[in-house]
């Protein structure tokens, strides 16, 4: 199925997506949404997620 040389890329990309989901939840954002975005855009999604501010839970 997977060529031997390509397997580490899939593992790394999936791990990055899981890390980004956890990071997104820590910033009060949707973990599932950021997981999918990370699968599509990889390190670019990580950069955007790190730069975005944390969402406040309530107004006051």
Instruction: Encode pLDDT of 16-50 as tens digits.
Output: 999 999 999 999 999 999 999 999 999 999 999 99
Query: Model confidence at 53, in pLDDT bands (50, 70, 90)?
Result: very high
**Please, what's the largest Cα pairwise distance for the chain?**
54
Query: 15: which 2 tokens?
Result: 């791990």
Q: Is the pTM of this model over 0.85?
A: no
Instruction: Provide the CA 12 distance to its chain's centre, in angstroms.
Output: 12
CA distances from 55 to 9, 13, 29, 51 (A): 31, 26, 7, 12
Could you say which DSSP state residue 20 is in? H
In 3D space, the residue among 31, 30, 24 whose CA is nearest the CA of residue 52 turns out to be 24
């Amino acid at each position: 199925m997977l060529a031997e040389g390509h397997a580490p890329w899939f593992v790394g990309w999936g791990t990055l997506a899981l890390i980004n989901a956890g990071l997104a939840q820590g910033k009060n954002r949707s973990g599932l949404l950021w997981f999918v975005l990370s699968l599509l855009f990889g390190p670019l999604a990580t950069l955007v997620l790190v730069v975005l501010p944390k969402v406040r839970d309530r107004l006051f």
